[in-house]
C-alpha cells in the first residue's frame, strides 16, 4: 500500500470484535443474494464468450448482437435492432458506426422514411455469422452441460419468469415511500 493518504488513526491493533452491527439487522450474504449471483454469473459467461469472439473476429458484444439479429440476411432499422438486442440506441448507433468502418454492415436510406436507415450485413459479416454461431452455440452447450434435461427446462422457465417480473419492477415509477433525501446523519 504505497501512497496511502494518512487518514486519522494509522496505528494497528484492531479489536477483532465487530464494533457495531446491531443484532436486529437481517444479515445479507452477498453470495446468497440473487442480484449479486446473477450479475456474477452473467459476467463470467459474457466475458468468457466475448473473449472467444473478440480474439477470433475482433468484434465486441454489441457488434456480435447486431450480427446475431441480422444474421438471417434480414434488413432492419437501427431502432428495430435496438429493440431486438435490448441495447439502447446510443450503443447501437456506435456499434453500427464501427461496423460501417470495418465493412460489416451496409446502410441504405429508406425511400419512404429517410430518417430510418435500412441496415444489412455484408457478405463479410455473414461469413462471420456462419462461423460464430456454431461457436456460440457450442459454448452455450458447454455451460448447460452442467444441467440435466429437466434442469434445462426449469432454467428456461425460471429465467422467463424472473425477467418478466424484473421488467415489471423496473417499470414501476418509484418506490412508494422513497424519500429523495440523501441520507440523514
Residues β-bridged to residue 120: 106
Full DSSP string of 81-110: HHHHHT--HHHHHHHHHHHHHTT-EEEEE-
Q: Smallest distance, Å, CB 96 to DNA?
A: 5
Question: Per rule CB under 8 A, is residue 27 in the interface with its own copies?
Answer: yes
Name the residue among 47, 107, 112 with its Cα closest to residue 77. 107
Q: What residues numbered 87-106 form the site for DNA, per CB under 7 A?
A: 88-94, 96-97
Name the residue among 51, 73, 69 with its Cα closest to residue 60. 51
153 binds, among DNA, its own copies, none (CB under 5 to 8 A by kind): none
Q: Choose which of 3, 18, 35, 173 interacts with DNA (CB under 7 A).
A: 3
Question: Per rule CB under 7 A, is residue 175 in the interface with DNA?
Answer: no
**Whose grid coordinates read 450474504?**
29
Q: What residues numbered 56-95 form the site for its own copies, per CB under 8 A?
A: 56-58, 65, 68-69, 71-75, 78, 84-86
Q: Choose which of 149, 169, 173, 176 interacts with its own copies (CB under 8 A).
A: 169
Name, in order, each residue with C-beta under 8 angstroms of 59's C-beta and a sequence gap of 6 or more. Answer: 53, 67, 104, 128
d(C-alpha 135, C-alpha 68), whole Å: 12
d(C-alpha 96, C-alpha 102), whole Å: 10
Question: Per rule CB under 8 A, is residue 23 in the interface with its own copies?
Answer: no
Residues β-bridged to residue 106: 120
Q: What residues numbered 19-78 form the site for DNA, per CB under 7 A?
A: 60-62, 77-78
Q: What residues numbered 105-144 form the site for DNA, per CB under 7 A?
A: 112-117
Point out which residues bind DNA (CB under 7 A): 1-4, 60-62, 77-80, 82, 88-94, 96-97, 112-117
Amino acid at each position: 500500500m504505497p501512497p496511502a493518504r494518512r487518514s486519522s488513526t494509522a496505528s494497528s491493533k484492531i479489536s477483532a470484535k465487530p464494533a457495531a452491527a446491531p443484532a436486529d439487522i437481517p444479515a445479507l450474504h452477498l453470495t446468497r443474494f440473487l442480484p449479486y449471483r446473477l450479475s456474477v454469473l452473467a459476467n463470467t459467461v459474457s466475458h468468457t464468450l466475448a473473449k472467444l469472439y473478440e480474439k477470433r473476429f475482433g468484434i465486441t458484444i454489441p457488434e456480435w448482437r447486431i450480427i446475431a439479429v441480422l444474421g438471417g440476411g434480414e434488413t432492419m432499422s437501427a431502432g428495430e435492432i435496438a429493440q431486438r438486442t435490448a441495447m439502447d440506441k446510443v450503443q447501437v448507433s456506435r456499434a453500427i458506426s464501427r461496423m460501417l468502418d470495418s465493412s460489416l454492415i451496409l446502410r441504405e436510406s429508406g425511400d419512404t422514411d429517410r430518417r430510418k436507415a435500412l441496415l444489412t450485413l455484408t457478405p463479410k459479416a455473414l461469413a462471420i455469422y456462419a462461423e460464430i454461431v456454431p461457436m456460440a452455440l457450442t459454448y452455450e452447450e458447454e455451460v448447460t452441460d452442467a444441467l440435466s434435461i429437466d434442469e434445462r427446462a426449469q432454467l428456461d422457465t425460471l429465467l422467463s419468469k424472473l425477467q418478466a417480473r424484473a421488467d415489471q419492477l423496473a417499470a414501476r415509477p418509484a418506490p412508494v415511500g422513497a424519500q429523495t433525501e440523501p441520507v440523514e446523519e
